[in-house]
Amino acid sequence: MTWKGREVTLTVTEFLLLQALAQRPGFVKSRDQLMDVAYDDQVYVDDRTIDSHIKRLRKKMRTVDDDFSAIETLYGIGYRYNEE
């Protein structure tokens, strides 16, 4: 995918999470909702796995945009995408 005209290589899971968040900017998605997007029902993952994916996703986005802050953490609730 590209961000601000620069190539960013994401895993399928990272892309699915970003897509799920960006589809409804400002809307909070819980970890459980994001797990449903990223994994099928046969796969069990801890909800903290989502935190790890988000951390890596932010890191990758910051390699092309030092000021990337579109994904906001709402502690104890989940994540939301804010349009920059």
| CATH code for the domain in which residue 64 is found | 1.10.10.10
Q: What is the rounded average pLDDT of the residues 59-77?
A: 95
Range of the domain at 21: 2-81
Distance CA 22, CA 20 (A): 6
Q: Is the full-model pTM beyond 0.85?
A: yes
Domain count, the chain: 1
CA torsion, ordered 47, 51, 57, 62, to nearest 10 deg? 170
Find how far residue 62's CA is from the centre of its chain.
13
> What is the tens place of the pLDDT at every residue in 12-21?
999 999 999 9
Tell me what pLDDT residue 48 has: 87
